[in-house]
A and B are shown apart, each in its own frame.
Chain A
Amino acid sequence: MEDRKDPIQDLLDGPVAVINIGLAQFARTLEGQGVAAVQVDWCPPAGGDRRMIDLLDKLGA
């Protein structure tokens, strides 16, 4: 990714390759279309504790 000159054109030129964060059905549908997709099993970070999340972000975690 680092060397891409125009990431929007790269997307439009295809092929589309997806990281799916959230609703798993989106990744399943894409895979069914032959689109490369990786499902991330997301859950609220730091148990959903807002202050802890802000702290994690500050630490770059």
Chain B
Amino acid sequence: MSAGVAATRTRAGFYLDSVALMRISQAVQDLAGVSAAFLTMGSPSNKELLLDAGLLDAGAEAAGPNDLVIAVRADDRDALRAAFETAEAALSGPATGGGEDSGWNPRSLETGLRALPAANLAIVSVPGAFAAREARRALERGLNVMLFSDNVPVREEVALKALARERGLLMMGPDCGTAIVAGAPIGFANAVPRGDIGLVAASGTGLQEVACLIARAGGGISHGIGVGGRDLGAAVGGAMTLAAIDALDRDEATRRVVLISKPPDPDTARRIADRIAASPKRFTLCCIGMAPMDLPENARQAATLREAAEDALKGAGGAEPGATLREASRRFRHAKGSVRGLFSGGSLCAEAQAVLMAAGIAFVSNVPIPGAEDASSGHRLIDLGADEFTRGRPHPMIEPAVRDAPLKEALADPDVGVVLVDVVLGHGSHEDPAGRLAAVLAPHDREAPVVIASVCGTDRDPQNRAAQVETLREAGVVVAESNAGAAETAAALLAG
């Protein structure tokens, strides 16, 4: 596999953020005759990645965290030269800060604050090893923080959240990619109307799906506060979930609150339930995969994200229209086939598991929810945003091409009868994920397997949900109204 020619180049003292680098890497990788392309900073973990790819030569080995490494393997010298030319051209383009928006930017938090003294939030998305330091500095200067970075040790998270509590600040994250604050979508978030439903979420796509379902049913969001995936674990003990509940309790615009999380640690769950009991507002708890728990009278438990949205809307919204199943049945020709779920959203993968489990269907997943059976049934639900798929690669919400290979494999697999996919829209996401899916589907037989998608988004999102749905339908995809509805349709097909 490693035939051909390989080379690296290093640019000393040229720092660029990982998303910008991954975008350029993908563009170079897509060139004819290029089998591998990495543009990456010379940190120890990135050099390990190059070593695994057989691309760590002496030049790359000598690079440090402030040095950019370009590493390419190609079929021949011409393809190699073209790859480096494309990479170098992209590095001097506008997306890298070297072009049209290359005006002066502050180099530190302090100078940033001098430029924007009214700042009330710092978004921190630097590599994990440096993230806690930057977050702490922001908290010490009185800023609320949204910490997007992952790979932050849990003891650092505990310390940061203790500092935030002491200072009366929000510390959203680490690993928090989505928030909606005072009508502003922050990070990976959708354009939803303002309203009276507040969200507190330990899950980015969970927050997105609930917010979009509420918006599409005519409701609105007061605020969506992300807390990070570990907040309701034993170590952190719900520190920011409790702070967010306090804040939404005081917030006059919020009348109802939805909490979205993985199943919490039992002691933390009790603490949250006690806090809810003391609130005058109504709560919906959606902890996908959690057994029914005792809740105070002002709270209800929802088994799926869709149920959470319905409960918050007092029953508006509703079940998947019958037309979705009729359309899927028409295209379903492979009655003994298994389900292959290829998700970009972790909570959407978890929700699909909950739906299949409720229908008595056993499955395998790389991120199993509690009670999931590790069965040999052949049904597989995969979160392509999990760490094992995103090491050194962009998240599938940013670069849907990450799903191309597993999707082609599923389409060609004679044992697969149903392919389930999610398409996540909004700020931060790829500009045309449906178009990318449609391009992969185009050369394939439309009859088997049937592809069922849900589209998490709104018509006000940059991608426009209606246009994305239309693209998918033209490609022969059955589009459900919600992720839960897509999974239910798959389960109904299996049940015959």
The answer to whether A18 touches B122, judged by C-beta atoms less than 8 angstroms apart, is: yes
Asked whether A12 and B109 contact (CB < 8 A) given A4-B142, A7-B142, the answer is no
Q: Is the CB of B125 within 8 A of A21?
A: yes
Q: Does B223 contact A (CB under 8 A)?
A: yes
**How many Å lie between the Cα of A53 and that of B170 in the bound state?**
26
Main secondary structure of the interface of A (DSSP, over half): mixed
Contact B247 A38 (CB under 8 A): no
Residues of A within 8 A of B427 (CB): 29, 33
Q: Does A40 contact B (CB under 8 A)?
A: yes
* Contact residue among B19, B97, B138, B168 (Cβ-Cβ distance under 8 Å from A19): B138
Closest A residue to B127 using CB positions: A44
Interfacial residues of chain A within 31-53, with CB under 8 A of chain B in the complex: 33, 35-45, 47-48, 53
Stretch among B179-187, B377-385, B484-492 lining the A interface: B179-187
Q: Which of B286-308 contact A (CB under 8 A)?
A: none
A38 CB to closest chain B CB (Å) equals: 4
**How many of chain A's residues have a CB under 8 angstroms from any CB in B?**
44
Contact for B125 among A7, A14, A26, A41, CB less than 8 A: A26
Cβ of A26 and Cβ of B186 under 8 Å apart?
yes
Using CB atoms and an 8 Å cutoff, list the residues of chain B in contact with chain A. Answer: 15, 17-20, 43, 64-66, 97, 101, 105-109, 111-113, 115-127, 129-130, 133-134, 138, 141-144, 148-149, 167-170, 181-187, 223, 243, 247, 250-251, 427-428
**Contacts A11-B170, A26-B187, A57-B133; A48 near B66 (Cβ below 8 A):** yes
A residues bordering B, Cβ < 8 Å?
1-2, 4, 6-30, 33, 35-45, 47-48, 53, 57
* Residue from the set A7, A21, A28, A57 with the largest chain B CB neighbour count within 10 Å: A21
Decide if B107 touches A1 in the complex (CB within 8 Å).
no
Q: A23-B125, A30-B184, A40-B108 are in contact. Are A8 and B169 (CB under 8 A)?
A: yes
Asked if residues B97 and A41 are in contact (CB atoms below 8 Å), the reply is yes
**Which residue of chain B has the shortest Cβ distance to A28 in the bound complex?**
B101
Shortest CB-to-CB span from B344 to chain A, Å, is 17
Residue of A nearest to B191 (CB): A33
